[in-house]
A and B are shown apart, each in its own frame.
Chain A
Amino acid sequence: MNLSLLIIVPVFVSMAILLCRDAKQVRIAALLGSAIQLGLAFALFFAYRAEREAGNTAQMLFTYKTPWFAPLHINYSVGVDGISVAMILLTASVVVAGVLVSLSVENLTKEFFFLLLLLSSGAYGFFISLDLFTLFFFLELAVIPKYLLIGIWGSGNKEYSATKLALMLMGGSALVFVGILGIYFEAGTFDIIELSQNQLSVATQHFFFPFLFIGFGVFGALFPFHTWVPDGHSSAPTAASMFLAGISMKLGGYGCLRVATYLMPQAAHEYQGIIILLAAIAILYGSFATMMQTDLKYINAYSSVSHCGFVLLGIGMLTKTAITGAVMQMVSHGLMTALFFAAIGMLYSRTHTRAVEKMGGLLKITPFIGTVFFIAGLCSLGLPGFSGFAAEMTVFMGSWQNNDMWYRLATIAACASIVVTAVYILRALGKVMMGPLLDQHHAEITDAGWNEKLAAVILIAGVVLVGVAPLLLQHLISPSADAIMQNVLKAAL
């Protein structure tokens, strides 16, 4: 399977969109393009499984490498392991759903979908990169489209939020770049596989690990670098919120894992305590901060901070199970939060408010959206049967395996957040969906259209599939997480 297709297809589709004559064509092109992406992602998934079942034990499959800037030893190098495949599946689903939900965008339609698809190609590129430089390229590629999506199509204090998001992400990637340069300085290569085989010196790891981890951490909403999350998400248009929370924040987690932890295992051990501390703070503090929010998007955004904390916690714990859980949590949170944002977007486009206290009893008026809301909410609070549960439990189990009293306390703190999560999710659900109808104007609003329904169904299918049969995902991820752990263990010896 040619992985480059994953990058090329969205780029071509976005170009095609630019050539379209009217909004209708644009929509069709975008839809088709994203559907093809989804198809490709699944094709990749099956091809990957087939290859693994055929006994291919190479760490990365479908690799392709060609020199890009030969004098600097920069290659365009791609390949996937289970973790990447999982992230690609996530990306494809969220993009399709995002396109579906946004079919009603009227203002500058062409540009909107152009940017959206460009974003997706950045995400794919990031997940399949095996070269630090290309990885960084794709990481930064995603910053500006986000800025524009929020700035042009957003709502509320959009310019502030967009700028803040762009600058903070840029700051994150600047740190990442320093870290990458540090690696390059010592090893003279950007190749991840090569780097993983030859350990970097302890001094290098010690100095540059924080750069990489914090840099990616900014993307992954590491406390206290998460403040772009609430503002950015809440100002963004629906599809962009879905993308931001669903995929973009995963870039951070993935980077922390694939680059920081994998290539600098010794430093990961060294800084483990700090990582865990920050993650635990993010989890608890994020959920408590969520409790006080009254804007639906803020609620979901803060809860994303909390949920992404699980990812970092899992990575920080440095056990195979915890890392597997972290990746599962990325997938799960991606789907779930995208679903949540989609539901919020559907509501907002109808009621023109996101304030919790201004809505009530909508379940009766819009049963479909209401149900979606419930499913998203229940998934968010970690209900078995939905993806969140399996992911969080894997993180908890994995974390507990780290036999250190303080880390266990952090785990307990993280577990405690599921209660707080229940509080705010149920509060929001109870306010918005249940209770008597608050605003009589809302009696007239319509339920979801076909595109919205389809989007929701795709995401729900993902959430439920992972939730009901987590082993599918776990078997995909676990061997690859093990490979990363092997590196970590090697360093510990």
Chain B
Amino acid sequence: MDLSILISMKFEMALTLIIFILLFLKIDGRAGNQFFFRITNLLLVLSLGLYFLPARYGQFFSGMFRTSPLLEFEKVVLLMATIIISLSSYHWLKNFNHVAEFYMMILSSLLGMFFMMSSDNLLMFYLGLELSSIPVAALCNFDLDKKISSEAAMKMILSSAFSSAILLFGVSLIYGTTGSLDYYVLSRAVVGTPLQIMAFILIFSGFAFKLSVVPFHLWTADVYEGSPVAVTAFLSVVSKGAMAFVFITTLYWVFGNLGGTWYYMLAILAVVTMIIGNLFALRQSNLKRFFAFSSIAQVGYLLIGISGFVKASLSIGSVVYFVLIYVFSNLAAFGVISVISALTGKETIEDYKGLYRSNPTLALLMALALFSLAGIPPTAGFFGKLFLLTAGSSTGAWPLIIIASLNLIISLYYYLRIVRAMFIDESSEPLAKISLSFSEMAAFLLCAGGILSIGFMKGLFEVIFNISGGL
């Protein structure tokens, strides 16, 4: 073993290190909330810099771990997302009893995602998956004095255990038919016998569960609504993003031979997901729940992008690009919700009436986020969504593209509901003026900057596209 392995695992090492630092500080017992907040964020920001540390790409631990430029990029995106979540949760964490634990859990989960993405082996994949989801389930319960928080946690852990059990059953059958857990072997050995297809469908449903693909999505809204905002944000952005990365690699690579099956599965589910997500989002009043359904609808678009396997690197590139944009857009929205929820406890659209008059910054950021999610230029979401559809159209699946385009209308409608509440409606009791902390400002600026500039960074998509070629 040489040290280059450690450098190749730089993000994982950094996260582990931070977790242990926090653990020791917590055991030490003297550090206060502010200190935890600062030290963690500082360390996280520093570890972002690791991206520029040149690493060796390839497989390590006999396929248990793998790095590539694309993976590093994805990891840095997710890490950044976590930082944004953390920064914008300042007001919530300030008075929270378990800041260190919060960070340890959330970073463990992130670590799990990193391993999951980097795995070339179903065992590591499964371990990463569990490492990423069990702590999150616990995190859902972190609003300890809220009834719904524990309900959300219960729904999360039980349903995710159920789904992963089903996934495992599939994995075991795959193992039975091929004798290996290694992706490379699998990609050749999975040829599409009935048993393999059945096993694949079981595995697929596990992915679909995590990605909240309709009809595997039913847990999503409840969990999002009940959890603390930061956790909701983490679930809807980081967790989903990581899952999307893994999903597309797994499909394209491991189950590449089953393309004929999963292409149609994706197409059908994408349509259902978009429509159902949109229809449910229409009538939500709680913002977290609203964003749950909106993110379900977004997943529908993601699936369309994934389905465009004809131009693989375009598909992967556009998915990565979309996730990057989605990080900024959704986190901007959740940042605003987080601040307002932490300070006033208000989370419904009704409460946001007249927000622009009292808190123009928050309202503007929210609007930007919503426009980006709705895919309105010049925000980045426009490009993200269009590239997904472009990738999806590479198979010539026009009905799919048409339905997706028409769904954009419905989604615009409900995004505009919030815009309308903030900018147009008058409120009898508007929210008071909120002063933002430095960290929140930083997070918001980052989000706004990302939303506005990503589409115009000429080289960015090209870079992503190029590194996507190597999976």
Direct interface between A and B, CB < 8 A: yes
- Listed stretches A20-28, A170-178, A363-371; interface member: A170-178
| Contact of B51 with A by CB under 8 A | no
Q: Is A54 an interface residue (CB 8 A)?
A: no
Q: Which of A67-75, A243-251, A260-268, A480-488 contacts B (4 or more CB under 8 A)?
A: A67-75
B465-A71 in contact (CB<8A): yes
Asked whether A174 and B314 contact (CB < 8 A) given A140-B376, A144-B376, A167-B412, the answer is: no
Chain B residue contacts of A162, Cβ below 8 A: 420, 424
Q: How far is the CA of A141 from the CA of B383 in the complex (A)?
A: 12
Q: Are B424 and A152 in contact (CB under 8 A)?
A: yes
Known A-B contacts A137-B382, A148-B423, A182-B398; the reply to A174 vs B409 at CB < 8 A is yes
Say whether B377 contacts A185, CB under 8 Å. no
Question: With A and B bound together, what is the CA distance between A207 and B393 in angstroms?
Answer: 14
* Shortest Cβ gap from A10 to chain B (Å): 13
Contact digits for A149-188, partner B, Cβ 8 Å, 1 yes 0 no: 0011000001100110011001100110110011011000
A contact patch SS? helix
- Stretch of B127-135, B146-154, B185-193, B399-407 lying at the A interface: B399-407
Which of B389, B398, B466 has the largest count of A CB atoms less than 10 A from its CB? Answer: B398
Knowing A177-B386, A185-B394, the reply to whether A167 touches B424 (Cβ < 8 A) is no
CB of B58, distance to nearest CB on chain A (Å): 25
A143 at the interface (CB under 8 A from B): yes
- B462 and A170 form a contact (CB under 8 A): no
Q: How large is the interface on B (under 10, 10 to 19, 20 to 34, 35 or more residues)?
A: 35 or more
| Residues A71 and B462 in contact, CB atoms below 8 Å apart | yes
Is A113 interfacial (CB-CB < 8 Å)? no
A424 near B: Cβ within 8 Å? no
Give CA–CA (A23, B398) in the complex, Å: 49
Given contact pairs A137-B377, A152-B423, A166 touches B382 in the complex (Cβ within 8 A): no
Alpha-carbon separation in the docked complex, A181 to B466 (Å): 22
Most buried by B among A147, A170, A185: A170
Number of interface residues of A (CB under 8 A): 37
Q: For residues 55 through 70 of chain A, which have their beta carbon under 8 Å from a beta carbon of chain B?
A: 66-70
**Given A70, A178, A181, which contacts B462 in the complex, CB threshold below 8 Å?**
A70
Task: Tell me, yes or no, whether B387 is within 8 Å of chain A by CB.
Answer: yes
A185 touches B393 (CB 8 A): yes
Bound CA–CA A162/B394 (angstroms): 35
> Chain A residues with Cβ under 8 A from B419's Cβ?
147-148, 151
For B357, give the chain A residue with the smallest CB separation.
A108
With A and B bound together, what is the CA distance between A143 and B382 in angstroms? 13
Which among A143, A170, A185 is the interface contact of B396 at CB below 8 angstroms? A185
Chain B nearest CB, measured from A131 CB (Å): 13
* A residues near B313, Cβ cutoff 8 Å: 71
**In the assembled complex, which residues on chain A have CB atoms less than 8 Å from the CB atom of B430?**
none
- Nearest residue, chain B, Cβ from A137: B377
Q: Are B424 and A71 in contact (CB under 8 A)?
A: no
Q: Which residues between 176 and 223 of chain A lie within 8 Å of chain B, taking CB atoms?
A: 177-178, 181-182, 184-185, 207, 211
Q: Indicate if the CB atoms of A68 and B406 lie closer than 8 Å.
A: no
CB<8 Å pairs between A and B, sample of 19: A67-B458, A71-B313, A71-B314, A71-B462, A71-B465, A71-B466, A137-B377, A138-B377, A141-B378, A158-B424, A159-B424, A162-B424, A166-B416, A167-B409, A167-B412, A170-B408, A171-B409, A174-B409, A181-B389
- Apart from A151-B420, A181-B401, A184-B393, list 15 A-B contacts with CB within 8 A: A69-B387, A69-B461, A71-B461, A72-B387, A72-B390, A133-B386, A144-B371, A158-B424, A159-B420, A162-B420, A175-B405, A178-B405, A181-B389, A185-B394, A185-B396
